[in-house]
Amino acid sequence: MGADRQQPTVRPADPPGDPSAHARETGPTVAEYVDLAADLDEAVAGDVRFDEYAQVLYATDGSIYQARPAGVVFPRDIADVRAAVGVAADHDVPVLPRGAGSSLAGQAVGPGCVVLDTSRHMDGLLSVDPEARTATVQPGIVQDDLDAELAEYGLKFAPDPASSNRATVGGSIGNNSTGAHSVRYGITDAYTEEVKAVLPDGSLLHAREVVLDSPEYEEIVSKDDREARVYETVRALVEEHEAEIAERYPDLKRRVSGYNLDRVVYENDEGEEVINLAKLYVGAEGTLGVVVEATLGLVTVPEETALALYCFDDLVDAMEAVPEALEFEVSAVELMDDEVFRLAAASDGYAEYVEPIPEGTAAALMLEFDSELHDDFEAAVAATNDHFVAEGAAFEVVEAYTEADQNDIWELRKAAIPLLMSLEGDPKPYPFIEDATVPPAELAEYVGEFEEVLEDHDTSAAYFAHAGSGTLHIRPILNLKTDEDIQKMRSIADDVTDLVLAHHGAFSGEHGDGMARTEFNPKMYGENLWTAFKEVKTAVDPAWLMHPGNVVYRDGSEDVGPDSDRGVGADMREHLRYGPDYQSLEPQTALDFEDEGGFSHLVELCNGCGTCRQTDSNTMCPTFRASREEVQATRGRANILRAAISGELPEEELYSDRFQEEVLDLCVGCKGCASDCPTGVDMAKLKAELKHEYHQEEGTTRRDRLFGNVDRVSRLGSALAPVSNWAQKLPGADFLGEKLFGVAPERALPTFRRETLVDWFRARGPGVPEAEARDRVLLFPDTYTNYSYPEPGKAAVEVLEAAGVHVEVLDPDDVAPSGRAAFSMGLLDEAGERARTNVDALADRVEAGWSVLFVEPSDAVMFQDEYLDMLDGEAVEAVAAGAYGVCEYLHTHRVHDHLDADAPAETLTYHGHCNQKALNRDHHAAAALRRVGYDVDELDSGCCGMAGSFGYEAEHYDLSKAIGRILFEKVEESPGETVVAPGASCRTQLGDREGGERPPHPVEKVREALD
């Protein structure tokens, strides 16, 4: 074991102050597993965590369920997995393999299990054979990352779940995942050629094609071991139940319930009858062992695609069009309904994607065409237009041929599930029967009968997803905090499973069994096959230690050990995240949470989908990207916070050092979750409120006050410059800063200018008289621009005046600092006072037609967003509406039309500010640069890692640099010659990179174009 290994975190569990019954049912205490944790730590090289935070973090996934595990192991290799499984067996504790935890049926949670999280270390692409079109991977590799590595060969892994930007391939194998292109490619079991799996006894099974009765087969079954028993049992069961398998397994492109007895014995390409247990592990949900390696079949990537979105004014009409769509050569047939469009239109992150959808669209059917099937996209689309619009029920078509336009439509489609979970209030469209699958020709009739079931239960649902495969995500809207709706959920599931059977369908076509559907498998497969499933499970796992109770369950008569109740019974109503006894605190808050339905409702908006675990696009979650720690993702923070406000953790946990340091202080406040999280969990807002409450209880530190009032320090530093700058360079200054204020000695602090931006403007005066101006603006003197780096402020004045705009730079004696620094530190009283001062000072002028402009994006967003959370009234709303980042103003007011600009032939790499991205305003700077003649490469980048004071804090320096390196890599890959960034923090971080120069502000490049 390495010398730098972490010791297992094992802390006694404090009893909750007033837990609900729900909280008492969540699982074991930490103290029960001290010996197990110690033995695991001795046996494996990876981290072992059995503290209460680890239990809470891994108690939920993307489903409606919650069950505390015993603890978590992060194995580094196969040897670690084998050791962990062996130790768990010695302690008679079950094991659960887990990837990203994005499962929707509860497959990634298990009460009292040792969770093996393979997503951190076992995430490699081991080999690629381009000629054979295969790749061998570890289970923790994220599918999008795999496809990115395969791109150089023109290959990809065909199944494409909507969660592919964070879902792991191991999870896809465990779930038998698929996605929008199953019409063309099928599902995971068709592409899983070999697996290596650790069995419950710690042995390693290499599952691959083995010719029946061949010498290889005879050698396997001749041994007296677990592998031999598995082969013999599975073969015997397949042969014994051949007729019933043919009758009971539905003939569908998608069926992911039960064990794959219908696919494990088949004829190979040489015409030989083979047995391939790899097919059995696909969809087994970790119940037959831990997949530690897999060889996958790959497909070629079409060079081009096109989309046609057909709009119907009636859902049934869209359903009836599905089988007709399959008569054309299409690679995807997807459905979205008006509820998805409505929610997207109301979401900051997705509103732009719904703009092309015509008014009156009750349902839209999306058809994709690819270049491997069509040489002429326009001709292909014209043919479907004739069928669905000219001769059919569709009233309009939206065509998309460019990659950007297609991506917008796919983003809308992929966001459907989490968007639906953002509905206001406790009733939500929950997943429990939403991926039932029927033959596409029966969809319209099935939907009509499903509607009758909903009417009988006095509820409604939203409709979307993979219509071409007969899989519709129909989510009944229920309130699972009430016993009435919990019972209603079970009744709906019972009725719908009857309905699915009547249509020769499958209870699950995508999301698997888990806790939601396992209890219905006997109904689907009948007594004989159900018994066969249990025999398979027992042959592989005699003690039922691998994720017991999923896919199959016991009636209690099976002999699995003394007094064991593992895997006995299955009831979809057990282990719910919420329930009739669920309670949560609703504290009195300094900020206004009315729009979010209250503080606790904002916390509970996290549905566990794991979008915050994505690592290569959008903004959130920067700390998770750098650390891969679940607690540092928005989901992790929300889970810990929800546990604290619901009684699952003690209420005083909110004020503990650990909660403050691990959960709150490591949130950089980038606000990316406010837009990137499909349900809008604004952790930056929650953090500010919680830090405020903490300060009310515990007071503030010297550093909190320093950084929260940095404007005063900067004003003094400017007045004393250049002496203040020399003082920073004195021997021991870094040491003193770290000891007194916790400032990282590696960071160079900002220097100060004796002549401030305000001084410069006061001496210079306005360049455009107000009477002759085409518009009037007030430039806000943010702390950094005014006292440390005035050049962007000067550039803003000169650009605006060149366009005939009258500019006044506000005097710090007339306004207060924006309050951003205080807000970020949780000093909400100070931030609120500054907000009130500024609104009072500016409201009349804004009403008179003036705009308020900001060089620093975080200050602009403070006015545009956070002021509305701190103050009420028409005045603050008017000031917020009149506030602009300077480049936002240039673009939205078409200032370029009045500029004589001729930019040099230069490509700029643009890194947008995360706060502006959260409000969907970061694109204005790139647009302004293009308007004056630059080529601009907009980075799909997250937070820079400085985040105001965060990067200066000694304990956060390493994490700040790790986040920064992610940005640096994107910068290096960009074709741009010059990096530009509007945020002062971003420019500081980029300037600190090796060989890097401090980038200019975009407005400085606009001024350069004027020359």
By three-state DSSP, how is residue 995 classified? coil
Query: What one-letter code names the amino acid at 265?
Result: V
Residue ranges in the chain whose pLDDT is less than 70: 1-28, 348-349, 417-418, 421, 562-563
Would you state the structure tokens that stand for residue 550, as one six-digit string?
Answer: 């999923």
Cα separation, 949 vs 744, whole angstroms: 10
By three-state DSSP, how is residue 135 classified? strand
pLDDT of residue 4: 34
Would you state the structure tokens that stand for residue 809, as one six-digit string?
Answer: 């730079």
Q: Are 120 and 628 in contact (CB under 8 A)?
A: yes
Angle in degrees, 0-180, between the axes of helices 828-847 and 683-698, rounded to the nearest 10: 130
Output phi, psi for 367, to 5 deg: -115, 135
Give the distance, in angstroms, between the CA of residue 981 and the centroid of all CA atoms in the same chain: 25
Cα separation, 104 vs 741, whole angstroms: 46
Q: Are 779 and 855 in contact (CB under 8 A)?
A: yes
pLDDT of residue 26: 46
Task: Classify the C-alpha dihedral 402-403-404-405 as positive or negative.
Answer: positive
Q: In sequence order, what are the beta bridge partners of 918?
A: none
Would you state the structure tokens that stand for residue 712, as one six-digit string?
Answer: 């005063």
Residue identified by tokens 């062996």 is 86
Residue 210 DSSP code: E
Output phi, psi for 923, to 5 deg: -70, -15
Residue identified by tokens 């194998």 is 173
Query: What one-letter code names the amino acid at 542?
Result: P
Residue 777 DSSP code: E
pLDDT of residue 418: 65
Cα separation, 253 vs 262, whole angstroms: 13
By three-state DSSP, how is residue 871 classified? coil
Query: What one-letter code names the amino acid at 991?
Result: G
CB contact set of 740 (below 8 Å; sequence gap of 6+): 702
Q: Are 55 and 71 in contact (CB under 8 A)?
A: yes
Q: Where is 305: in which H helix or E strand?
A: strand 305-312
Angle at 855 between CA 853 and CA 859, to 5 degrees: 80
Gap between the terminal Cα atoms of the chain: 63
Q: Are 780 and 846 in contact (CB under 8 A)?
A: no
**Which of 114, 46, 78 lies closest to 198 in space, CA to CA?**
78
CA distances to 433, 453, 496 from 456, in Å: 16, 5, 12
Output phi, psi for 819, to 5 deg: 95, 0
Q: Are 335 and 318 in contact (CB under 8 A)?
A: yes
Q: Are 610 and 117 in contact (CB under 8 A)?
A: no
Would you state the structure tokens that stand for residue 512, as one six-digit string?
Answer: 């698997």
**Which of 941, 981, 971, 944 lies closest to 959 in space, CA to CA?**
944
CB contact set of 270 (below 8 Å; sequence gap of 6+): none
Task: Classify the C-alpha dihedral 822-825-830-835 as positive or negative.
Answer: positive
Cα separation, 973 vs 955, whole angstroms: 30
Cα separation, 360 vs 356, whole angstroms: 12
The 10s digit of each residue's pLDDT in 920-958 is: 899 999 999 999 999 999 999 999 999 999 999 999 999
CB contact set of 765 (below 8 Å; sequence gap of 6+): none
pTM of the model: 0.92
- Give me Rg for the CA atoms of the chain: 30
The 10s digit of each residue's pLDDT in 457-498 is: 999 887 777 888 888 888 899 999 999 999 999 999 999 999
Residues 43-82 as b or e (16 or more Cβ within 10 Å = b):
bbbbbbbbbbbbbbbbbbbbbbbbbbbbbbbbbbebebbb
Q: Are 423 and 343 in contact (CB under 8 A)?
A: yes
